[in-house]
Amino acid sequence: MPQTHLSLHYHIVFHTKRNMPLVTPEWRTRLHKFLAGCVRIAGGIAIAIGGTDDHVHLFVGLKATHRLADVVKDTSSKWVHTEIGDSKFGWQNGYGAFTVSTSLLERVRKYVLNQEEHHKKRTAKDEYIELLKLSGVDYDERYLW
């Protein structure tokens, strides 16, 4: 076979340090645009980015040559420090990344874009635990937060 054909889509979730409500509505859209730019600069495609005051969801398409850890690392808190002026802002060290089947692309895109409405009914912690369970990821709740 002379060509490589890929469909590599990831739903990535990361939280603010100690799940503090630090991402305010006043600059949330700017943060999402920055994160989309990070993905684009890395050579990926930001399909959707959403979140609330304590976490963010990135739905991205990546190439086979991407290292997921490098793409996430490029979304550092430095932008918030310099552009927003919040030197205390930080992301948690860990994150969740879940592969997405082609048949679910549109559903996940809508889910990511609808975060504010979604979290009127459930917490980010509950949502994250459900994602872990649905994906069959083993975890120890003592080390989630």
How sure is the predictor about 6, in pLDDT bands with cuts at 50, 70 and 90? confident
Cβ neighbours of 34 (radius 10 Å): 15
74 pLDDT exceeds 80? no
Domains and CATH numbers, the chain: 9-143 (3.30.70.1290)
Rounded Cα gap, residues 131 and 145, in angstroms? 15
**Residue bearing tokens 């991402």:** 23
**What is the DSSP pairing of strand 45-51 with strand 96-99?**
unpaired
The model scores a pTM over 0.85: yes
Structure tokens at 44: 């990926």
Contacts of 70 (CB under 8 A, 6+ apart): 42
Determine the pLDDT at residue 1: 55
Under the banding of pLDDT at 50, 70 and 90, the label for residue 131 is: very high
CA dihedral sign of residues 87, 126, 72, 143: positive
For the cut 80, the answer to whether the pLDDT of residue 2 exceeds it is no
Residue 52 near residue 115 (C-beta atoms within 8 A): yes
DSSP 16: B
Per the prediction, the chain carries an average pLDDT of 92
Task: Give the whole-angstrom CA distance, residue 71 versus residue 1.
Answer: 29
**pLDDT score at 31:** 96
Q: pLDDT tens for residues 86-112?
A: 988 999 988 999 999 999 999 999 999
What's the pLDDT band for 27 if we cut at 50, 70, 90?
very high
Structure tokens at 144: 């989630």
Provide the phi-psi class of 11: left if phi over 0, else alpha when psi is between -120 and 50, else beta. beta
Query: Higher-confidence residue: 4 or 140?
Result: 140
Contact status, residue 59 vs residue 48, Cβ threshold 8 Å: yes
Above 70 in pLDDT, residue 75? yes
